[in-house]
Structure 1
Amino acid sequence: MEKYKGNITTRKLVMASFLTALSIIFTRFLFLMVPLAGLPALRLSFGESPIMLSGVLFGPLLGGLTGLAADLIGVVVNPQGAYFPGFTLSSILWGVIPGFISMYFKKVDNERDYSITNSLLIFLLICGLIKGFFSQDILSIKEGSIYLYDNLLSIPIMVLYIGVFVVLVLLPIFLRGKLNNKSYFSFDKIVLMVSISYIIVSLGLNTLWLSIMFKKGFLILFPGRLLSSIVSIPMHSMIISIFMKYFKYAVRE
């Protein structure tokens, strides 16, 4: 594995600028907004992937600058509601956190396999999601049956949900070695970086910013955002892993 080199070159700046443009396009134009508690609180997009990729390839400084530029330029190009500085901080952290983690992996040349750790993280997120749904009375048990709000969940639907959750838990293990990039990071390390970033930024900070903006309780918004993270973590991880195969030349000295 190549050791980390922290110097900023013209090539890195150009590639970071390109990733900034990709993030703006994905975030501001190619997204799906899902309402939670009657509010537009859940955005599904791939805008974070280019920012995280910038952090992974170029380190926390350029990763953070990519996130900063993507948010500020995106607000000018296509503003979506009132500007809130908390989301600018979140955008910066999307690049900084993977950048620091990638520096650690590059420095120690860690050959450890994190696939089981990633599956355990996704399993814990799913358990938290289920607990959150029950605490918010989205799911309930009445007379030995499970209800979604006031609608009885049929056995086929329950089996489908369980099957999807099982696939999500086993996905990191199944893809172990299939999307590896030997020059930089194996897929399990990418999933770990994405998972840590999502827990801190999306589940933590962004949910807090939304609760402040819309004056809604943190726990009211949390279950839906947790569901989004469970689905988004594997998807972002695969996108970043695939992109790295085409961007790896950008960090060659």
Structure 2
Amino acid sequence: MSKLKNTRILAITAMLAAVSIILSYFKIPLSPLIEIRFTTLPLAIAGYLFGPAIGGMVGLLADVGGYIIAPTGPFFPGFTISAIISGVIYGLILHHHEFSIKRVFIAQLIIVLVVNLLLNSLWLSMLYGKAFMVAVSARLFKEIIMLPINTALVSLVLKAIGERSLIKKVRA
């Protein structure tokens, strides 16, 4: 956490959490259990630039901050855990490595399998009393469709960031 002593990194971390909260307003609800969201971009950027600890912190701040600003239902800490784990996964797989679409795809695949299908389906089944397998099967189609879309979006953003020399200095 020594990175948070750097005011530039602290400011970028706060900005990424704020951007994630703003992006949470842009969602496409398909059913009570299925939504298409774009909040993965700031988590991927945080993990890529600063590593798993700050990636997880951005997930925590974005989830809790988003709930405080505009709650859309009861607060459930399981989704906060999912957001933290997503940021950590991005950090573990993308930080200190050269950009590659393969690494982004691997990170996205792990997040889809572990976080989106397993954990989030578990949280939804606990929260709404739906059967776990019903939640997984309902969400599977969306996750299959979103995997290449999120991989492409994250790849485009991270490639652009990686090419900026100013950000490379901050990333160290």
Matched residue type, 1:212: M
Distance 2:155 2:141 in 1: 22
Report the counterpart of residue 19 of structure 2 in structure 1. Answer: 22
C-alpha offsets along residues 59-117 of structure 1, whole Å, 9 cap, x if unaligned? 001001000000011001111011001001011111011111224x63xxxxxxxxxxx
Structure in which a larger fraction of residues adopt strand = 1
1:178 matched to which residue of 2? none
2:27 is the alignment partner of 1:31? yes
Q: Which amino acid is 1:98 matched to?
A: Y
Q: In the TM superposition, what are the counterparts of 1:1-253 in structure 2 within 5 Å?
A: 8=3, 9-27=6-24, 29-35=25-31, 40-103=32-95, 106=97, 184-248=98-162, 249-252=166-169, 253=172
Shift of 1:7: 5.4
Structure 1, residues 15-74: CA drift from partner, whole Å, max 9, x if none? 2222212211111x1001121xxxx11111111221122112210010010000000110
Choose between structure 1 and 2: higher helix proportion: 2
Distance 2:127 2:86 in 1: 20
Identity of aligned residues (%): 34
Using the alignment, how far apart are the partners of 1:45 and 1:67 within structure 2? 14
One-letter amino acid of the counterpart of residue 56, structure 2: G
- TM (norm. structure 1) is 0.61
Structure 2 CA distance for aligned equivalents of residues 17 and 224 of structure 1: 34
Give the match's secondary structure for 1:41: coil
TM-score (norm: length of structure 2): 0.88
Residue identity in the other structure for 1:59: G
Q: CA deviation at 1:234?
A: 1.2
Is there any run of 5+ residues in structure 2 with no aligned partner, and where?
Answer: none
Q: 1:212 to 1:91 in 2, by over 3 A?
A: same
CA 1:246–1:21: 2 relative to 1, 3 Å: farther
- SS at 1:76's partner residue? helix
Aligned residues: 165
Give 1:251 shift: 4.0
Q: Max radius of gyration: which structure?
A: 1
Secondary structure, counterpart of 1:46 in structure 2: coil
Say whether the 8 Å CA contact 1:15–1:250 is kept in structure 2.
no
In the TM superposition, what whole-angstrom CA distance separates every residue of 1:145-190 from its partner, at most 9, and x where no partner exists? xxxxxxxxxxxxxxxxxxxxxxxxxxxxxxxxxxxxxxx3111111
Unaligned ranges ≥5, structure 1: 1-5, 107-183
